Structure 1
Amino acid sequence: MKVIKWLDKHLEEGILLVFLILMVVIMGIQVIARYLFSASLSWSEELTRYLFVCSGFLSASYCIKHSLSIKIIQLIELLPEKLMHISKLISYTIQMFFFAYLTPFAVKFVVSAIESGQRTAAIGLPMWIVESSTVLCCILSVIRLLQKWVERVKLMKGRSGK
């Protein structure tokens, strides 16, 4: 149970941190190799780019989890409390349906990459590994939005019971 709680709290942060460290280390090695040894690494830019793309997709669920999405907070805070909660629930629901709608398309995208056997140019990494970040993004975003939805309903019930 502790592992599940830790993953719930730190999954996105952990993966994003590992990706960031990898990007910095890889590009640092590339700079050192190029300027000190006059030798360029053919794979470093490609791997860094794919880590960056995967980080971008993964950051969607991170932002949802921490309520860091773009919103007009001043307008929502002007609403009466009950209407504010309802508007947030509507927002979570729309976002949840959006990511749930995208999930089957993301899965088809990954399956087609598996079937094609396409690989990246420099390192030969199967493209489905990179493209699976879209599926992970959609699934994690739906999970995080469900959590937000449940938290909001609990908050509404807790406040109305007082």
Structure 2
Amino acid sequence: MDRLNMTTEWLTALFLAVMVLLIFIQIVSRLFFSVSFSWTEEVARYLMIWSTFLGASFAFKYGAHIGVEVFVRKMPRIIKNIVQIIASLASLAFFVILISMGWEIIGLSMVQTSPALDIPMGYVYIIFPISGVLMILNLIDVTIKSILHNENDVTNEVPMD
């Protein structure tokens, strides 16, 4: 998982760098040369979409997704594990829907082309199932590590009277 996440991080960073470069080119060409390239805005928009979905997939590694941990941290180990599994199953259901609906959208949008680049929009939307699979893999990895960490954590045990 670490290698896959590292590759995803580098790809996301590359997409962000290209996006910034394209927007810079667009601004400079418009400001100094009164020339506007329609394709730069479109490519930058698609790179932003891809960067967002790829970033969401490896954000699991860093625990960067929103969560309410204040109550969970005070729970006994077994309850923590149960809450973690329930939350993971809910997330898994969402990611499966993302993959399923993503494939539907791809199928429907392969006949639609983008305005400036004239490429099938399905190529843009293919990030939905890709990120769904990456998120499932990261979810499994993080859930297993979290449960194993909770099993080894004896400091949060509720004392027995």
TM-score with structure 1 setting the length: 0.85
Is the contact made by 1:27 and 1:45 (CA closer than 8 Å) also made in structure 2?
Answer: yes
Specify the alignment match of 2:103 in structure 1.
Answer: 107
Unaligned runs of 5+ in 1: none
Alpha-carbon RMSD: 1.9
> What is the aligned length?
154
The CA distance in 2 between the partners of 1:72 and 1:9, in whole Å, is 24
Give the SS at the match of 2:114. Answer: coil
Aligned counterparts, 1:69-108, within 5 A: 69-108=65-104
Q: Counterpart of 2:147?
A: 153
- Alignment of structure 1 residues 13-92 onto 2, 5 Å: 13-92=9-88
Q: 1:157 to 1:81 in 2, by over 3 A?
A: closer
1:89 touches 1:152 (CA, 8 Å); kept in 2? Answer: no
**Contact 1:92/1:149, CA 8 A, preserved across alignment:** yes
2:8 and 2:54 in contact (8 A); partners too: yes
Unaligned runs of 5+ in 2: 155-161
Partner SS state of residue 126, structure 2: helix
Identical counterparts, % of pairs: 25
- Considering fraction of residues, name the structure with more helix: 1
Indicate how the Cα distance of structure 1 residues 146 and 11 shifts in structure 2: closer, same or farther if over 3 A, else same.
same
Contact 1:92 1:148 in 2 (8 A): no
Looking at structure 2, the residues matched to 102 and 37 of structure 1 have their Cα atoms a distance apart, in angstroms, of 43
Matched residue SS, 1:18: helix
TM-score normalised by length of structure 2:
0.85
Indicate conservation of the 8 Å contact 1:57/1:133, yes or no. Answer: yes
Q: Please say if 1:10 is aligned against 2:6.
A: yes
